[in-house]
Amino acid sequence: MLFKKLKKSFQLLLLSLFIIPINALAYSDYLVAGGENVGIEINSKGVMIVGLYKVENTYPATDAGLKVGDMIVTINDENISNIEDMVAKINQHKSEGTIKIGYRRDDKLKNTNLKLYPDQNEVYKTGLYVKDSISGIGTLTFIDPGTHLFGALGHEIIEKATGKILEIKDGKIFESSVTSVNPSTNGVPGEKNAEFNYEKVNGTIRENTSQGIFGNYTGNLDGRKKYKVANPDQVRRGSAKILTVLEGQTIEEYEISILKIDKSTKQKTKNIVFEITDQDLLEKTGGIVQGMSGSPIIQDDSIIGAVTHVVVDNPGKGYGIFITNMLEEAED
């Protein structure tokens, strides 16, 4: 009996030894801090319904049971990945008057039949407004010099019409230059305006999560400064700075003061509350503006987090995510 107990304990010990390394995180102790403005383009897994319209006094999509937010993945049992595919399949089967649509809703695959309505020019109407990609701007947070893994934004990309996180097939980040800034006012967040250089791709996106977008960086890292990764216990209230671009491609440092720190394991995105103390930044932007999401937060020459949200009623204040929360999500 004693032998059996010892044997069982030995097996549990072996199991523990095998499990522990799996949970170990492999990100580097030092990261290249971003700060540069990036153009972002992501492609969805399928074609998302973002609106419905009336055709001949009826709503064909509603009659078929389709809703805004549904992701169309097949037409007549043939896979589609973008709007071009969808249009081609509809044109191929339009003479039949109806098409079979396979769609995903709440992670469940469903099927329905959608009636087509030709107009006077024999263009067939579906009653659907659809989208297969989203583009915009944000700020690069970090690049791991060992793996070239990058993270940006510090929050998810949402499709505005549906309010849902976009499940992505792939995407890219590319060079971008800030042309102007619309300042924030109380209750109205401002925004950066920018030009894109689609020819200068600096990375591929593989994840869109609540803690940021992540992928593989392909740009040049020569001469870029590396910052030590701070864990949450090393973050303190008081002075810090953010790195961001307000004009062209020039990354500048701006002073902030950290007011509150939430180290709760349940809080994954709004870990830091800060206020801008840099008068130059306040004069130019009125506070945090859209497009600053992802701007690295630096304290004591360590990278501690990234800007994520503005306090809408007081844009001089904002929220930040711990850098370790971004790194852990990037490695999942």
106 in active site = no
Between the alpha carbon of residue 161 and those of residues 130, 164, 198, 312, the distances in Å are 10, 8, 25, 20
Residue in 176, 293, 295, 302 annotated catalytic = 293
**Which runs of consecutive H residues, i.e. helices, occur in the chain?**
2-23, 60-63, 83-93, 279-285, 323-331
- Cβ–Cβ < 8 Å for 242, 295: yes
Query: Which residues have CB under 8 Å from 158's CB, separation 6+?
Result: 164, 165, 166
- Cβ–Cβ < 8 Å for 171, 42: yes
Residue 75's identity, in one-letter code, is I
Q: Rounded to 5 degrees, what are φ and ψ at 293?
A: -55, 130
CB burial of residue 107 (10 Å; 0-12, 13-18, 19+)? exposed
- Cβ–Cβ < 8 Å for 155, 305: no
280 in active site = no
309 in active site = no
Residue in 85, 132, 155, 176 annotated catalytic = 155
Residue in 170, 262, 278, 300 annotated catalytic = 278
Chain-centroid distance of CA 3 in Å reads: 54
Catalytic center residues: 155, 278, 293
